[in-house]
Amino acid sequence: MSHTDFPKGCVSQDELIELQSRMSFQEDTINELNLIVARQDRQLQALAAQLGSVSKKFDDAMYAREQGGGAADERPPHY
């Protein structure tokens, strides 16, 4: 039986090789995208932490301004 004599509904050897090649490419793409998503998640976490820090500093400055004080009235953080 040659590769062209497959029963109806079966895939040929060439079709099987093509499907395996596509599957391999898709697996590689999924792995690459997973690495990108993981890296972006770490970046988002770092940015969220920075935003929290900046937001706190802004809130502290606004509170100090409302209280009539300024940065000159505050003790340095090392005290």
- As given in the structure block, the two tokens for residue 15 are 């079709």
What is the pLDDT averaged over residues 57-75?
78
Kindly write down the DSSP assignment for every residue of 26-75, as one continuous string: HHHHHHHHHHHHHHHHHHHHHHHHHHHHHHHHHHHHHHHHHTT--GGGSP
Residues 6+ apart with CB under 8 A from 74: 64
- How far apart CA 51 and CA 45 sit, in angstroms, is 10
pLDDT at 1: 46
Q: What is the pLDDT of residues 29-42, one digit of tens each?
A: 999 999 999 999 99
Task: Give CA–CA dist 39/11, Å, rounded.
Answer: 40
pLDDT score for 21:
97
What pTM does this model have?
0.59
